[in-house]
Amino acid sequence: MTSLDYSRMFRLDGRHAVVVGCGGIGAEIAAGLAAQGATLSCLDKDGGVAEATQDRLADPSGRAHAAYPVDVLDTASLHRLAGELRDVDVLVLTAAVNVRKRLLDYTAEEFDTVVGLNLRATFETVRAFAPRMVERGSGSVVALTSIRAVVVEPGQGVYAATKAGVMQLVRTWSAELGPAGVRVNAVAPGVVETPLTQQIRDDERWGRAYAEKSALGRWARPEEMVGAVCWLASDAASFVTGSQVMVDGGWTAVDGRFTPPFG
Within-domain flag for 25: yes
Q: CATH no. for residue 90?
A: 3.40.50.720
Contacts of residue 77, Cβ cutoff 8 Å, sequence gap at least 6: 70, 71
SS (H, E, C) 69-105: ECCCCCHHHHHHHHHHCCCCCEEEECCCCCCCCCHHH
In a domain, 262, yes or no: no
> Residue 103 falls within a domain, yes or no?
yes
Domain that residue 126 falls in: 16-247
Say if 253 falls within a structural domain. no
pLDDT (tens digit, 9 = 90+) per residue, 169-213? 999 999 999 999 999 999 999 999 988 788 899 999 999 999 999
pTM of the predicted structure, to 2 decimals: 0.95
- Position 73: which residue type? L
pLDDT greater than 50 at residue 1: no
Mean pLDDT of the chain: 94
- Number of domains making up the chain: 1
Does any domain span residue 260?
Answer: no
- Virtual CA dihedral for 48, 170, 154, 101, nearest 10 degrees? 40
Enumerate the active-site residues: 159
Residues 93-126: tens digit of each pLDDT: 999 999 999 999 999 999 999 999 999 999 999 9
Note whether residue 97 is domain-resident. yes
